[in-house]
Amino acid sequence: MESNFARFKAFYKTASLWSGKLLGLEQFGLSNFNFDHLEHQESLDLPMIPQGTLLGKRAEYFFKFCVEQSNNYQLLLSNIQVFKGKVTMGELDYIIKDQRSNSTLHIELVYKFYIYNPTITSTEKSTVLQELNKYQGPNGRDHLVRKLEHLKNHQLPLLYTAEAVELLKSHDIAVENIKQRVCFLAHVFIPHQLWDHKFKYIHKSSIVGYYYKSSAFAKAETENTYFLPEKYAWKMTPQELPASYTFHQVLLLTWESLDRGFAPLLWMQLEDKSFESFFVVK
């Protein structure tokens, strides 16, 4: 069984989707945190996350924990709701302080699973947007470009509204001194045949698996062992679970999941006990 520190490490090793700037959004990678002092602390107390907490919210607990456990950043505020009268305008994810430079950062956290679909075409004139349009959620309801636009046009500008300025002032934080970053973490799944493809704009380390169309998966029978992790466990390192399935068993479960509108993530254990991780999509 993994130690708490190993579970914590699995989170903070999650790759950023890109490095530097993308469409004007500057990345804050988890590698910025210094955890050297924790390397031998196997008894680390992880945050208590209520059962049933969604994957994105789980990431929020872990990011806050990262700030608190690091020896180079200080958490000033987290999940700050901004109101105009009684109406919620939005939420600022994190305000943190860099202990080395004494600078203050506003960070918006994003934690996503995307598949890369090379067949998607776009009317965008920008070659960057044409390429980024090919990244979408496994169920086709989530789109990378839309999320980037929401960050640029809504989430980050919220900091500069009169209401947010006044709220932060009440905590002795001056907005004009704050730098803005996004911590955009992602697990990307690609077509098997593109495994050696050089992807533009994203970190190769964010690619963690591949995906099958359901019709192709039906023809990909193996003698391997299959596991169906619950969504909250998608971010975990693939491992044996209490329930295991043969190909034909997991194929039926896959079809049932797709009929409900949800693309399942599968972990396949090979003969040598290693794992492969993939989605099956419609």
- Measured in whole angstroms, how far is the alpha carbon of residue 194 from the centre of its chain? 22
Q: What does the pLDDT read at residue 232? A: 84
Indicate whether 133 and 39 sit together in one domain. Answer: yes
- Give the pLDDT means over successive 10-residue stretches in the chain (282 positions): 70 92 96 85 78 87 95 97 94 97 97 96 89 95 95 97 97 96 97 92 95 96 96 88 97 97 97 97 94
List Cβ neighbours of 125 (8 Å cut-off, separation of 6 or more): none
Indicate whether 122 and 57 sit together in one domain. Answer: yes
Indicate whether 140 and 43 sit together in one domain. Answer: yes
Final residue before a domain boundary, out of 184, 208, 232: 208
- How far apart are the C-alpha atoms of 271 and 240, rounded to whole Å? 13
- Alpha-carbon Rg for the chain, nearest whole angstrom, is 20
Assess contact for 188 and 135: CB atoms under 8 A.
Answer: yes
Domain residues for the domain of 73 are: 4-208
Final residue before a domain boundary, out of 147, 178, 208: 208
Q: What does the pLDDT read at residue 8? A: 80
Q: What does the pLDDT read at residue 54? A: 85
Kindly state the tokens that stand for 265: 């993530």
Indicate whether 200 and 230 sit together in one domain. Answer: no
- Closest Cα partner for 194 from 209, 214, 215, 216? 209
Q: What does the pLDDT read at residue 61? A: 93
Indicate whether 241 and 104 sit together in one domain. Answer: no
Indicate whether 41 and 53 sit together in one domain. Answer: yes
- Measured in whole angstroms, how far is the alpha carbon of residue 108 from the centre of its chain? 12
Indicate whether 180 and 261 sit together in one domain. Answer: no
Indicate whether 220 and 184 sit together in one domain. Answer: no
Indicate whether 233 and 201 sit together in one domain. Answer: no
Q: What does the pLDDT read at residue 55? A: 85
Final residue before a domain boundary, out of 178, 208, 238: 208
Q: What does the pLDDT read at residue 100? A: 92
Indicate whether 82 and 186 sit together in one domain. Answer: yes
